[in-house]
């Protein structure tokens, strides 16, 4: 209908280290943007843990092949 959606992606540093067990797929992890302007991952165990999204105000994408995101590393945050 002529509308082009361009979601706002902001770059913020991670508050803590984040590790995952498998890296065969891109993962979307729910996060909270803290008062310090950092990103704190929320406990999340996959799509069955959908309730964790009710606490989130953003999501980060962890790309295929990446096992961890280090504290202080800048990540793209999509606000929700």
Q: What angle do CA 12, 58, 8 make, to 5 degrees?
A: 70
Q: Which CATH architecture has domain 9-79?
A: Beta Barrel (2.40)
Whole-number pLDDT of residue 5: 81
List the chain residues with pLDDT less than 70.
1
Distance of CA 74 to the CA centre of its chain: 11
Q: Output the CA angle 20-52-42, nearest 5 degrees.
A: 45
What pLDDT score does 11 carry?
Answer: 96
Q: What is the pLDDT of residue 48?
A: 72
**According to the model, what pLDDT value does residue 46 have?**
74
Give the pLDDT of residue 14.
Answer: 98
3-class DSSP state of 75:
strand
24 vs 27, 41, 43, 62, CA distance in Å? 9, 20, 20, 11
């Amino acid at each position: 209908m002529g509308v082009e959606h361009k979601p706002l992606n902001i770059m913020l540093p991670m508050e803590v280290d984040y590790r995952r067990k498998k890296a065969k797929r891109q993962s979307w992890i729910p996060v909270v943007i803290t008062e310090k302007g950092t990103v704190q991952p929320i406990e999340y165990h996959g799509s069955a843990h959908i309730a964790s999204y009710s606490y989130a105000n953003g999501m980060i994408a962890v790309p295929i092949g990446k096992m961890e995101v280090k504290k202080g590393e800048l990540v793209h945050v999509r606000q929700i």
